[in-house]
Structure 1
């Protein structure tokens, strides 16, 4: 499939992004997670559809509904809220007894002297001092240990030009022919890019650091805070770790291979134990243009990552995004970026020891021996799950001693075996097949081509691994696998059990003896997602899950202070499921295991991102991304004008803050 876009392309950036993640560029013969799950549960005599059949019965007959009600009465859930009704409309909805307020919107001020948002007269200079577009990951770093005052750190993943710019995208009629029959089809046609529009897009990417505080129960930004900062595609950054100085990251602008301008496509991320902000670079390939010759020495490496993707026309005006002019520039993206939010003048660092992939996030936990373990998913069909273990130990008494922990350690890739074990395979040059004979001349090569290193090590090909979240309360690790409609019947395995897996599933890893640095773990399937009323889907929610409680396409997740799992989704559209994305509370223990309840749902066209609780569990932050992006949506005619609902005001990605009415802990 040709996924490269042009300025006149009829597909939106959201469409192209989803298609890219659906490509599956892993041509290795490694077993897939579906193969492994199939072998494991076949041997155990597990009836894949048994729970699904029970849940189906619970949705189609009055007697079964009564039985399901009795099952719910006997089930002890960790969650006590009244469930939201699933559906689709222009609004957001939260469980009864809770407030869901808009905290920050695209274009809002980040500094006291930031210009007001004027959607009809946008400029790059204004956007550089305003809240960016498509907020994704959210982190909260308390100030002085407070859960009511802290630094909010937010990623801005990508831009939807058709929803951002007035008089740019139009709805046109295209004549299509199939089997000799012609028909008129309406589509959104993108406009022509200019340097000015591209400058706005660039400044809308990156991240925001902003102080927020809670007064009289309501949260608001502190615009005159010295901590506030915007990070963009032009922010100077340092390459650190084993790749720094490699010939493969040297460019005309940076002959040292140590200095990079900016970060982009920052999806999920993380906050380290020492209070720094991690920005994961995901679909970096989409920003590069140019033609790559088959005999180009980097052609195979480019192909493994989908470079050049051609989603944006930045290369037309900026040579560094044209691979024919700067062939090494793509190697300078796809990393985890570390930012010190307590120093607005500090230089962010791209920590190359964590490997170069399409990082969904980088969530961490302090191991019992003091080392810090980071979990990462590579978000594409048939790609891998990773974890990085620092060489040094975390020093809680000396923050400065931790500031370079991410430059030394061991990156591992996961192999899920049918006997229920996980082998974490080290990506270390000179070990096993990671040698010069196999095209890895040094550790820099291994990390730049972390995907290929995983290929030759025999890692398990997964169904789009996104967030990977360790639970400090239980020692479990949860892997969100969004979906994989490209998996065929002969590609299923123990850990990826379904062909044409449209709804995804969640893997639960148990680290051996609570040792998160262990190289051998065990795993199980927590949930196979989808509508349990459709037998072919094979969903495995608990029968206590209601018709509102099931979900598909798990994406981001959060663990609250009680160790409870919350899952946000990406892909539950009106067209696909008749419901929007949202946030679900999922029981993981006891007789309620596998029970799910809908807590919050987004407006039409939006994706649910960034669930994050304050340490006292009294505040929940949520990121609503690309609202209104449904059907023939443009600036002039979005599917919703959420959150402002004002004529002439575009739909705006926003951070929502949820609190309990009257105060107290959530759910």
Structure 2
């Protein structure tokens, strides 16, 4: 990995992982039964937390999972490893890379084009992330692959370092903005059985930071959403830092805006200190914004209040990010919609739980140290017989945040004005402020601070919800959900709603596993995990296939000495019943593995290789690395993982 590349990602991680939660809400250690804590300290470990069928004690019996038939691939410790290694009997080939043409008229990728932002608007964006496959009705051999482009790896330009000492060239900033967002591409399985892109499809589309989007829901037109450039507060330009995703039962794509705060700055110290909507989310307060200094060329990203302009200039522009954005992939002319009923924070995903009677819940993590786990329950129910009635179901409902109580029980706390301390005296005069400042509302309500909650995934049969807690190296006080100080490796939590009801306000929870080193290894206790099978660190992306296999993607700095035994980042698969884990794929040095999608028959899988550090996918040691979607198939044509 180049020094510039490594330093940039270390800087991003430092910004994204910083704790800015001032609530002082009790950690789980103060809520849990002391006897359970003593059991953990006394070495009986997680067997005491076996609330679910099978229990964590089943780890010791996990010798041959009925769900996993592939052989594990080995870790890759070579610092020059620059390819994708997949399990024996499978193949993984590059399918879609940054700069590939998407829309008609798009030129081929040019690694040296510093200011050709109009071309980038028609090409694949950078840093592929969460994605989903949408089959055409009645055509399982044909579908739309929709994926996020989370951020950009500088340089997208010939210069090796972004110069923030002077205003940045607007054309460079525009290209970076164009490389954010979403791609929609049509794919088809041909007569020879191979999946290919449909290059001339009318559905192919790029959505970026320059795409107009409608604001919908409780905050549409609210004063806090109005700016000098949008005095009505009804339309915002673009979406950014799109990480994980979700889908709706009516076939739309939900993209989630994660670390949007790193793109804005408010240099007014008095206003910053008083404005919860900036301070609680960690906007920059001096110098330049934390990522790319866009505000030096595009004033929309300078959120310093300007009393000479209507609505204070752009002071409200950060309020227009941090939302769930709904996109209809089958309507290439349709305007994306920001659904404000979901609440605003650094959202990782919107994982759907759908009950037989049409009730829904969408689960999300807020990816920072000591932040929270949320769910949104729409007020209405999905009606497959009435598509028109489903279109605005996401504009009304209840946002909840999780509190994890002792004894393996948990409560969903409603973030509703007038409930759980959310009143004017505490800074919430209406529901608008509750949703705008969902983090601060969760502080007041008494939610449990967690270790970087990231992706959530819902088991397709049991309805259990799994949440990745990636890591927290600043943890000092331990508890049952976070039993290790200086937690470098993270864990996976799972819970089950009371009565299997997505709208339930209580649940059972337990630790599914602790990532890290083997129990008997000669490393400090805080580095040891409880994995049955192949070891890994820092679970990030989670997804279930139709058979109920849990796929786990990792995101850690593979050049950190603490990760020396982990090698390059990985895609693993776990059996939820036995808890056996097997390593299915290893990516090139410097990358993160993120985003999964399957064909309807489960015989094709797409996975994203984000920010590879050497020269992948060319793998020639010379070419600039490119974030790339890989297509994975079995050589015998069978189902992936089976």
Give the C-alpha shift of residue 19 in structure 1. 0.6
Name the counterpart of 1:179. Answer: none
Give 2:180's match in structure 1, choosing from 186, 205, 211.
205
Name the counterpart of 2:170. Answer: 195
Name the counterpart of 2:497. Answer: 511
Judging changes above 3 Å, is the alpha-carbon distance between structure 1 residues 267 and 298 closer, same or farther for their aligned structure 2 residues?
Answer: farther
Name the counterpart of 1:241. Answer: 217
1:625 aligns with 2:614: no
1:559 aligns with 2:544: yes
Judging changes above 3 Å, is the alpha-carbon distance between structure 1 residues 99 and 245 closer, same or farther for their aligned structure 2 residues?
Answer: same
Name the counterpart of 2:17. Answer: 22
Q: Secondary structure of 1:306's match?
A: coil
Give 1:117's match in structure 2, choosing from 86, 109, 114.
109
Judging changes above 3 Å, is the alpha-carbon distance between structure 1 residues 558 and 74 closer, same or farther for their aligned structure 2 residues?
Answer: closer
Give 2:208's match in structure 1, choosing from 216, 220, 232.
232
Name the counterpart of 1:263. Answer: 239
Alignment partners' CA distance in 1, 2:450 and 2:393:
29
Q: Any idea what the Cα deviations from partners look like across 1:274-300, whole Å, max 9, x if unmatched? A: 111111000011111341322457533
Name the counterpart of 2:427. Answer: 439
Give the C-alpha shift of residue 35 in structure 1. 5.2
Give 2:410's match in structure 1, choosing from 387, 402, 422.
422
Name the counterpart of 2:627. Answer: 653
Name the counterpart of 2:636. Answer: 662
Alignment partners' CA distance in 2, 1:118 and 1:512:
54
Name the counterpart of 1:371. Answer: 359
Q: Any idea what the Cα deviations from partners look like across 1:543-580, whole Å, max 9, x if unmatched? A: 5x1xxx11110001110111111100100513331311
Give the C-alpha shift of residue 12 in structure 1. 3.9
Q: Any idea what the Cα deviations from partners look like across 1:344-373, whole Å, max 9, x if unmatched? A: 111111000000000011111212331221
Name the counterpart of 2:596. Answer: 611
- Name which of structure 1's ranges 288-297 and 600-609 shifts more when overlaid on structure 2: 288-297
Alignment partners' CA distance in 2, 1:311 and 1:339:
26
- Name which of structure 1's ranges 334-343 and 494-503 shifts more when overlaid on structure 2: 494-503
Q: Secondary structure of 1:41's match?
A: helix
Name the counterpart of 1:127. Answer: 120
1:157 aligns with 2:150: yes
Alignment partners' CA distance in 1, 2:516 and 2:621:
37
Give the C-alpha shift of residue 445 in structure 1. 0.4
1:136 aligns with 2:113: no
Contact in 2 for aligned 1:31/1:460 (Cα 8 Å): yes
Alignment partners' CA distance in 2, 1:139 and 1:472:
16
Q: Secondary structure of 1:330's match?
A: helix
Give the C-alpha shift of residue 542 in structure 1. 4.6
Aligned length: 605
Judging changes above 3 Å, is the alpha-carbon distance between structure 1 residues 13 and 80 closer, same or farther for their aligned structure 2 residues?
Answer: same
Contact in 2 for aligned 1:37/1:496 (Cα 8 Å): no
1:470 aligns with 2:468: no
Contact in 2 for aligned 1:31/1:493 (Cα 8 Å): no
Q: Any idea what the Cα deviations from partners look like across 1:216-247, whole Å, max 9, x if unmatched? A: 23222112111111000010001111111111
1:169-568 to structure 2, matched below 5 A, reads: 169=161, 193-215=168-190, 216-296=192-272, 298-308=274-284, 309-324=289-304, 325-489=313-477, 492-532=478-518, 533=521, 534-537=523-526, 539-543=528-532, 545=533, 549-568=534-553
Contact in 2 for aligned 1:238/1:348 (Cα 8 Å): yes
Under a length normalisation based on structure 2, what TM-score does the superposition of the two structures give?
Answer: 0.90
Give the C-alpha shift of residue 156 in structure 1. 0.3
Name the counterpart of 1:102. Answer: 94
Alignment partners' CA distance in 2, 1:648 and 1:495:
45
- Name which of structure 1's ranges 119-128 and 516-525 shifts more when overlaid on structure 2: 119-128
Contact in 1 for aligned 2:117/2:178 (Cα 8 Å): yes
Contact in 2 for aligned 1:278/1:337 (Cα 8 Å): yes
Alignment partners' CA distance in 2, 1:665 and 1:48:
43
Q: Any idea what the Cα deviations from partners look like across 1:504-553, whole Å, max 9, x if unmatched? A: 0010101112112110000000001111123513644355x1xxx11110
Give 1:581's match in structure 2, choosing from 562, 565, 569.
569
Give the C-alpha shift of residue 494 in structure 1. 2.8
Alignment partners' CA distance in 1, 2:67 and 2:188:
29
Q: CA RMSD in A?
A: 2.5
Give the C-alpha shift of residue 84 in structure 1. 0.5
Alignment partners' CA distance in 1, 2:164 and 2:340:
39
Alignment partners' CA distance in 1, 2:151 and 2:42:
38
Q: Any idea what the Cα deviations from partners look like across 1:88-115, whole Å, max 9, x if unmatched? A: 4111110010010111000001124211
Q: Secondary structure of 2:269's match?
A: coil
Gaps of 5+ in 2: 48-58, 305-312
Q: Secondary structure of 1:447's match?
A: helix
Judging changes above 3 Å, is the alpha-carbon distance between structure 1 residues 527 and 36 closer, same or farther for their aligned structure 2 residues?
Answer: farther
Q: Secondary structure of 1:121's match?
A: coil
Q: Secondary structure of 2:380's match?
A: strand
Q: Secondary structure of 1:315's match?
A: helix
Gaps of 5+ in 1: 1-7, 54-69, 171-187, 629-639
Q: Secondary structure of 1:129's match?
A: coil
Judging changes above 3 Å, is the alpha-carbon distance between structure 1 residues 641 and 666 closer, same or farther for their aligned structure 2 residues?
Answer: same
Q: Any idea what the Cα deviations from partners look like across 1:381-419, whole Å, max 9, x if unmatched? A: 000000001111101123222111100010000000121
Under a length normalisation based on structure 1, what TM-score does the superposition of the two structures give?
Answer: 0.86
